[in-house]
Amino acid sequence: MLDLSSGQTRWRLPGGAIAGTTLVHQDGQLLTWFDLATGARTGDAVLQEHAPFVLVGLSQDGRRAVLARTERRVTSIAIVSPRRQTWIYLAGNRWSFEALAGGSLYLRHNGELWRDEFGGSGNRPLAAIGPPGLQLSSPGGRYVLTLTVAATGSAAVDVLDTSRGVASTLRLPGRGSAAAARTYALAPDPDGRHLWAIAPGYGQVVHIDLLADRVVDAYTFTPGPQNSVAAVAAMSPDGEQIAVGDAGRVWFVHLAARKVVAGKSHVVLALGWSPDQRHLWAIGERSRVSSLPVR
């Protein structure tokens, strides 16, 4: 875990699934919960089923882990917390986890998003969706956002509203280059309602109002090289700027001015702002941490 004030590593945790400030690590039948803010272990559970299950995600609040086992004719889902375990069995083997909120389990199946009410009302399809891609959640966990890219170079964001149990697909600008489409990065606003999608490959900035379920603004900038590398984005603490980086360069999106400024050439795997916004920390090759000039 990186201290964004100093750029120093504070602690290291094992790999696992993350939701909010919670990480869950699987070691065979043992699941362990960690608090990312403190590095402390906060809970554990032993899977009651001895068959091999794989950790596939967490509930939106991080309190429950979701594990899956796929066989030829059935998919078994385990929903596990330190205090309780629930089991769900689905016919077929083409199910994949999307989200868990309250008593609703959301799953992908044959190009559709399904909602399973494991409290008793069964499952049903919600919407047709694209192939799974980059996925993240809005602050607070209400929206699950999945970036999908087609071979034709078109890109879209699948938006799942876990509060209302509905889903939609919002198309993003750009056609003709799958390499450029794959550079789209997603940056949720701290208010939990707005989302920005930025594609250095296409030179596009898109503003989405998640509550209104529509694109409200879009503008262009000089695109970067067609490197086909997924970009990463980080919103500044004051919500006024977004830093975007890919395999070769960093850009700064000034939201109020609708302007994009090219920054330093740098290989970027992850980005994070210091609380005072004087430093932009970048993790690059060989996990090296660098402080990049803020534009």
Task: List CB contacts of 218: < 8 A, sequence separation 6 or more.
Answer: 173, 204, 205, 206, 207
Across 280-295, average pLDDT: 85
User: What does the pLDDT read at residue 291?
Assistant: 87
Q: pLDDT tens digits for 188-211?
A: 999 999 999 999 999 999 999 999
* Whether the predicted pLDDT of 121 surpasses 60: no
* Whether the predicted pLDDT of 106 surpasses 70: yes
Greater confidence, 17 or 293? 17
User: What does the pLDDT read at residue 46?
Assistant: 97
Give the mean pLDDT of the chain. 92
CA distance 116 to 129: 16
Question: What domains does the chain contain, in order, with CATH numbers?
Answer: 1-128 (2.130.10.10), 132-295 (2.130.10.10)
User: What does the pLDDT read at residue 120?
Assistant: 55
Chain-centre distance for alpha carbon 146: 7
Task: List CB contacts of 4: < 8 A, sequence separation 6 or more.
Answer: 272, 273, 274, 275, 281
User: What does the pLDDT read at residue 133?
Assistant: 82
Across 62-66, average pLDDT: 98
Q: pLDDT tens digits for 211-247?
A: 999 999 999 999 877 677 789 999 999 999 999 998 7
CA distance 116 to 52: 23
Task: List CB contacts of 120: < 8 A, sequence separation 6 or more.
Answer: none
The percentage of residues in the chain with a pLDDT greater than 70, rounded to a whole number, is 98
User: What does the pLDDT read at residue 4?
Assistant: 83
Q: Which two tokens stand for residue 238?
A: 């004051």
User: What does the pLDDT read at residue 82?
Assistant: 97
User: What does the pLDDT read at residue 65?
Assistant: 98
User: What does the pLDDT read at residue 119?
Assistant: 57
* Whether the predicted pLDDT of 111 surpasses 70: yes
- Cβ atoms of 249 and 241 within 8 Å: the answer is no
User: What does the pLDDT read at residue 173?
Assistant: 96
Across 119-128, average pLDDT: 75
Greater confidence, 86 or 123? 86
Confidence of residue 161 (pLDDT cuts 50, 70, 90): very high
Greater confidence, 292 or 84? 84
* Whether the predicted pLDDT of 7 surpasses 90: no
b/e code 157-172 from CB counts within 10 Å (16+ = b): bbbbbbeeeebbbbeb
Q: pLDDT tens digits for 265-283?
A: 888 889 999 999 998 998 8
Q: pLDDT tens digits for 24-44?
A: 999 999 999 999 999 999 999
Q: pLDDT tens digits for 89-98?
A: 999 999 999 9
CA distance 227 to 232: 14
